[in-house]
Structure 1
Amino acid sequence: MTAAPESIAKTIAGELARRIVAMCYSDLPEQAIRWAKIGILDTVGVTLAGSVEDCVRIVASVEGIGAAQGSSLVFGTNRRVPALDAALINGTASHALDFDDVGESIGGHPSVPLVSAIMALGEQVDAGGKDAILAYVVGFETESRIARAVHPYHYDRGWHPTTTVGVFGTVAAAARILKLGEAETAMAFNLATSLAAGVKANFGTMTKPLHVGHSARSGVLAALLAKGGFTAGKRAFEHPQGYFNVFNGAGNYDAAKVFKHWADPLDIVEPGFGLKQYPCCGSTHPAIDAVLKLRCEQNINADDVTAIEVLTNPRRLPHTDKPEPRNGLEGKFSIQYVTLRALLDGRVVLSHFEDVAVRDPCIRKLLPLVRAGAHPEMPTDSKEQFAAEVVVTTRAGKKLSARVPHQICRGLANPMSREELWAKFEDCALRALAPAQARPLFEMLERLDGVVSVRDLTDAIAVRRDAFPRMERTKVG
């Protein structure tokens, strides 16, 4: 590995590179390793579940994508393709169901920009389980610290930080897997500023998971190009027409936050991330929890309800206030739909986001009863970023309410048990794998730090069939 020249070392990309190259597995605290394994395990599960979705099949059917043989597994198949194609397809699959974890610092989904890239490159270079864990932690730290520098303005402006920031986590993870030096890593970061993309206007469509596939592929591409000697500007973050000023605008970011308290503690340890219990947008989860709490405590009969009011932080509403979802994808981003589903069924599960479920006549009849709005005690700048209150009005005119305080899914304060992790993983994995494959894979992921080769892991993930060759490829022109 080569050190960065002085001209690069004094830049943001150069300082990121220096810190990333210096991080070692032996320096990782036990909690970081534990949560990295959980994050990778959960992401593998949701990627398998997403691998059978239409958006993934369409991406994989485009002529030229996945057509060549390579070393990297396409989840949901037994095929191996070039790493760039695997990162694109698997990255899209990982976010197809919006069932992946949520991070407070990134303001999005921290694991999906990382795992598909780590797996794809890990197979290519025959990385070990500890290499994968280190790459994940390094990537998590990088994307989280850059996110702190640009939020909340970046999110409110309409960018999708999972990818517009997550791409830099991918670069960091890829650089570690490829064992790049400081100069190469810095160049990969600078290059990636031109590859960052994703706007919230496309939430609730197939394009949102494509954001992740594109981001994962872009991060891998940046690292591979830098390894080959490709060049980019040396100050692509801080330049007047660089990443910070273009994406946020002058005065709307604090670049110093990238390095403030770097790895002290690691962001994966504090504040960490939360696992999703429900396969829909994390911004809707507090409302689901509130209505489930109300349902349990008050024994509410849906036939006795005349109105449902969902009050939450106004920052949650631009992408979830969808009173009339038309299909399963839009249902994932409709706080009205998921609240009603939770009230009616006492749970929110994958089958609720099939198109037929969203179009159920009973649901369509009751959706007008649900109104969403900003909670007067949860201003945009409050600590109650992920919180909600649900107020149900009965036919007798009685108002029943339940409130859930700030909580991002199931994280450090309220972790999933091993049994709950397995239940979610099994439900996801069995959408693509044979029943006999799921449990051994789960246990292998639990002991990832003892896995000699990522190839052993992907051998366990590979299915015994292959759907994609039967797909009619979409030709260009």
Structure 2
Amino acid sequence: MDFDDTWHPATHPSGAVLPVLTALSEAFPHTRKFSGLDLLLAFNVGVEVQGRLMHFSKEAKDIPKRFHPPSVVGTLGSAAAASKFLGLSLSKCQEALAIAASYAGAPMANAATETKPLHVGNAARHGIEATFLAMLGLQGSKQILDLERGMGAFYVNYSPKVLPSLDSHTWLLDQQDVAFKSFPAHLATHWVAEAAGAVRKHLGPPGRVLIPADHIEKIVLRIPDVQYVNRPYPDSEHEARHSFQYVACAMLLDGYVTLSSFHKAQIHRPQVRELLRKVELEHPPDNQPNFNTLYCEISVILKDGATFTERSDTFYGHWRKPLRQEDLQEKFRVNASRTLSFDTVESLMKIVEKLEDLEDCSVLTTLLKGSSPPAESSKYTEYNLSIAPSLLRLTNM
């Protein structure tokens, strides 16, 4: 769905880690239980390792051009999380990361196709497989993170640093939150949507039809030069999710962008195709492809000469402007209810809010599968309904 959370440097950290831990939590006999605190610590380790690896490269600070980051650092994050969860020794953890590095990497050319989600799925799968192989005695290079011909093969300007210990109190996760998307599309399109929404207020009242498309002479988007999100005439939902042009036109026409905005019937509306023909892109030299600094400016020029311009520097949902708690709740409810019952969704929210108190986190997996939790988990129904932001990561599985 392209709803994954996003961190900086650019990667989707949760999708490669959470499925591994929920799977492991139910993979062993009931005599071995993993607590919610075990899961949280391993999850944080898996995310932290991804962030540390991304900080080893200046290239990684910008929107990627060659390799899809979750398929690279996500694979090692998966292995790190599994290793921590299973209590592997330092030596075995090193082996797991070394093996995982040989599984890593997927080309950006498969972005905006059905294969892109497979990258994250493979990262989860290959990381846990690397961990199992390390447990069985398979060995790899213990310098894999230090060498240009190791992890440096994926990034230019690769400059590794010593990883801090868990008790060093210098976690990247403490320094910056992740971004949670309000609609399922490439993160850069969210700046476009916010700017286009601001322009639309000049063109008609909320909830009303936009002025006729033939009254619009031109739509100019001033955005970073990101070629795989430059798709003038998207033909599929995956292409539309990676199209600056389509997201701008959908927002101008409808006043919103949601999951249904990417259905094929919506993409091929005559009004949309007409507006797409009017879109022009400009790439200001100060607008670099970096999720921490990029902006979008949109100008709509009418045939009578009137021009309306708006700019977004930080969209709602970015780590500098996070979604409100109630919007996080609503996002989870909408997504999870496509698969799970109302009661199950509410139970999940209650449990995750107090996940660190959960004695057996296989209860979480049971609920995600749509089954009823064991009787001893009924006490969690007493928890407050407010939801921790980490719950949204469950929707990316």
Fold-level similarity (TM above 0.5):
yes
AA at the equivalent of 1:131 = D
Retained in 1: the 8 A contact 2:8–2:292?
Answer: no
Which residue does the alignment assign to 2:8?
A: 104
AA at the equivalent of 1:435 = F
Change (3 A) 1:113 1:365: same
AA at the equivalent of 1:308 = I
1-side partners of 2:104 and 2:5: how far apart?
21
Which residue does the alignment assign to 2:382?
A: none
1-side partners of 2:60 and 2:170: how far apart?
24
AA at the equivalent of 1:226 = A
1:191 to 91, 95, 99: 99
1-side partners of 2:181 and 2:88: how far apart?
34
Residue aligned with 1:444, SS:
helix
In the alignment, does 2:323 pair up with 1:323?
no
Which residue does the alignment assign to 2:34?
A: 127
In the alignment, does 2:211 pair up with 1:310?
no
Displacement after TM superposition at 1:260 (Å): 11
CA offsets, 1:32-80, max 9 Å, x none?
xxxxxxxxxxxxxxxxxxxxxxxxxxxxxxxxxxxxxxxxxxxxxxxxx
Which residue does the alignment assign to 1:32?
A: none
In the alignment, does 2:45 pair up with 1:138?
yes
Change (3 A) 1:262 1:400: farther
AA at the equivalent of 2:4 = D
Structure 2 segments unaligned to the other structure (5+ residues)? 373-397
2-side partners of 1:373 and 1:464: how far apart?
51
1-side partners of 2:187 and 2:64: how far apart?
16
Which residue does the alignment assign to 1:218?
A: 126
In the alignment, does 2:20 pair up with 1:117?
yes
Change (3 A) 1:238 1:403: same
Change (3 A) 1:455 1:206: same
1-side partners of 2:130 and 2:104: how far apart?
11
AA at the equivalent of 1:398 = A
Retained in 2: the 8 A contact 1:171–1:223?
Answer: yes
AA at the equivalent of 1:234 = K
Displacement after TM superposition at 1:376 (Å): 3.7
2:199 to 266, 283, 294: 294
Which residue does the alignment assign to 1:236?
A: 144
Which residue does the alignment assign to 1:42?
A: none
Change (3 A) 1:428 1:164: same
Change (3 A) 1:432 1:261: closer
Change (3 A) 1:240 1:462: closer
Which residue does the alignment assign to 1:266?
A: 171
Which residue does the alignment assign to 1:346?
A: 255
Residue aligned with 1:309, SS:
strand
2-side partners of 1:286 and 1:257: how far apart?
35
Displacement after TM superposition at 1:438 (Å): 1.7
> What's the TM-score, normalizing by structure 1?
0.71
Change (3 A) 1:395 1:260: farther
Change (3 A) 1:191 1:463: same
Displacement after TM superposition at 1:153 (Å): 5.4
In the alignment, does 2:84 pair up with 1:176?
yes
- Mapping of 1:61-460 within 5 angstroms? 97-105=1-9, 107-125=10-28, 126-152=33-59, 156-239=64-147, 241-244=149-152, 246-249=153-156, 252-256=157-161, 264-296=169-201, 299=204, 301-303=210-212, 304-314=215-225, 317-379=226-288, 384-385=293-294, 387-406=295-314, 410-460=317-367
1-side partners of 2:289 and 2:275: how far apart?
29
Displacement after TM superposition at 1:259 (Å): 5.3
Change (3 A) 1:382 1:110: closer
AA at the equivalent of 1:120 = A
2-side partners of 1:151 and 1:257: how far apart?
17
1-side partners of 2:83 and 2:177: how far apart?
22
Which residue does the alignment assign to 2:393?
A: none
Structure (1/2) with the larger helix percentage = 1
AA at the equivalent of 2:137 = G
Structure 1 segments unaligned to the other structure (5+ residues)? 1-96, 466-477
1-side partners of 2:56 and 2:222: how far apart?
29
1:462 to 360, 365, 369: 369
Retained in 2: the 8 A contact 1:150–1:253?
Answer: yes
Which residue does the alignment assign to 1:469?
A: none
AA at the equivalent of 2:13 = P
After superposition, the CA RMSD in angstroms is 2.4
2-side partners of 1:445 and 1:382: how far apart?
28
Change (3 A) 1:99 1:182: same
Change (3 A) 1:381 1:349: closer
AA at the equivalent of 1:253 = Y
2-side partners of 1:281 and 1:392: how far apart?
23
Residue aligned with 1:159, SS:
coil
Displacement after TM superposition at 1:383 (Å): 5.8
1-side partners of 2:27 and 2:291: how far apart?
45
Retained in 2: the 8 A contact 1:146–1:258?
Answer: no
Displacement after TM superposition at 1:443 (Å): 1.8
AA at the equivalent of 2:254 = D
The total of aligned residue pairs comes to 361
Displacement after TM superposition at 1:397 (Å): 1.3
CA offsets, 1:195-224, max 9 Å, x none?
102111000111110000111001101111
Retained in 2: the 8 A contact 1:302–1:343?
Answer: no
Displacement after TM superposition at 1:291 (Å): 0.9
> What's the TM-score, normalizing by structure 2?
0.84
AA at the equivalent of 1:332 = R
CA offsets, 1:294-339, max 9 Å, x none?
223553734232221111122xx21210011111111100111111
Change (3 A) 1:286 1:262: farther
